[in-house]
Amino acid sequence: MSQPFLTAVDIGHTFHNLPVLANISLEIQPAGFVALVGPSGVGKSTLLRILAGLLRPSSGQVHMTHATHQQPIGLVFQRDNLMPWRTVAENVRLPLELSGVNGREAQHRVQEMIDLVGLTGFAQSYPRQLSGGMAQRVALARALVHKPSFLLLDEPFGALDALTRERMGLELLRIWRAMPVTVFMVTHSINEAVFLADEVMVMGGRPATQQPATITHHIPTCLPRPRDLAVQGLSAFHKCATAVRTAIEENGV
């Protein structure tokens, strides 16, 4: 097996005397896709911020084998956080502006990303003219425009209706095939986690009552790729989704 893209060793984190995370160790393979599930308030976003290098853990280390935290990462949150006064193209271009990439190269990359996320023809639209799904596509394009090696998604489709969410999952797989990047995704949907990821990590604990959270289960999805919606009819899919649900129940919700 190749060297992991990222290794976290014994991560712990405390916010103002509140121990939120403890004993978290994990590996993510290069161009792998890991999903993290767990109850609300357990510490998923905190772990994501630590893996992204945005928050220094109180203890433990994060090692990146092929990349460093100096290299760009891509981030997408539940709400698209687009700038309403900028067009789609101007929103997507933002990370390039911040890193000093301008002119034709920037224009080319922005158009490439807009096409990749399926928004050809909408470059000059404003966020208010887009549906929720389209706005999340813009957020994805913005996260990918500077070719990050690590893409971190925090409930990126949480605000979308069920059908749009399903379509966005398929789109994400298509984009990930076209542009291999290592993905860490937080989601509340068991089916989404199993459908998209190579491995589902389950987090358990109750930080609010001084029981810090940890990763209690690592569940490989073992489903063939490329995947389409028919995968959700396979008995292997149901077995895996049941294993994740059982793991969450074992942790007590």
Ligand X SMILES: Nc1ncnc2c1ncn2[C@@H]1O[C@H](COP(=O)(O)OP(=O)(O)OP(=O)(O)O)[C@@H](O)[C@H]1O
Pick from 9, 83, 208, 222 the residue near ligand X by CB under 6 A. 208
Q: How far apart, in whole angstroms, are the C-alpha atoms of residue 63 and residue 9?
A: 8
40 binding partner (options Mg ion, ligand X, none; Cβ < 5 to 8 Å by kind): ligand X
Q: How far apart, in whole angstroms, are the C-alpha atoms of residue 235 and residue 24?
A: 31
User: Under the criterion CB under 5 A, does residue 159 sit at the interface with Mg ion?
Assistant: no
222 binding partner (options Mg ion, ligand X, none; Cβ < 5 to 8 Å by kind): none
Select from 44-52, 134-142, 207-215, 224-232 the region that touches Mg ion (CB under 5 A): 44-52
95 binding partner (options Mg ion, ligand X, none; Cβ < 5 to 8 Å by kind): none
Question: Strand, coil or helix: what is 91?
Answer: helix
Between strands 33-37 and 199-206, the pairing is: parallel
Contact in structure between 248 and 194 (CB atoms under 8 Å): no
Give the interface size with Mg ion as a residue count (CB under 5 A).
1
What token pair was written down for 102?
């301008």
Select from 34-42, 100-108, 173-181, 229-237 the region that touches ligand X (CB under 6 A): 34-42
43 binding partner (options Mg ion, ligand X, none; Cβ < 5 to 8 Å by kind): ligand X
Question: Strand, coil or helix: what is 3?
Answer: coil
User: Under the criterion CB under 5 A, does residue 39 sit at the interface with Mg ion?
Assistant: no
Sequence length of the chain is 253
Pick from 14, 29, 45, 111 the residue near Mg ion by CB under 5 A. 45
Which residues are within 8 A (CB) of 133 and not within 5 positions of it... i.e. 6 or more apart?
Answer: 160, 164, 167, 168
Pick from 6, 26, 33, 44 the residue near ligand X by CB under 6 A. 44
What token pair was written down for 238?
């149901």
Nearer to ligand X, 38 or 95 (CB): 38
Pick from 43, 148, 156, 204 the residue near ligand X by CB under 6 A. 43
Q: Is the N-terminal amide bond of 30 cis, ω within 30° of 0?
A: no
User: Under the criterion CB under 6 A, does residue 148 sit at the interface with ligand X?
Assistant: no
137 closest CA partner among 192, 82, 83, 99: 82
Nearer to ligand X, 156 or 207 (CB): 207
Taking residue 26's Cβ as centre, other Cβ atoms within 10 Å add up to 20
Q: How far apart, in whole angstroms, are the C-alpha atoms of residue 57 and residue 95?
A: 26
User: Under the criterion CB under 6 A, does residue 24 sit at the interface with ligand X?
Assistant: no
Query: In the bound complex, what is the minimum distance in angstroms from residue 41's beta carbon to Mg ion?
Result: 8
Site residues (vs ligand X, CB under 6 A): 15-16, 18, 20, 38, 40-46, 207-208
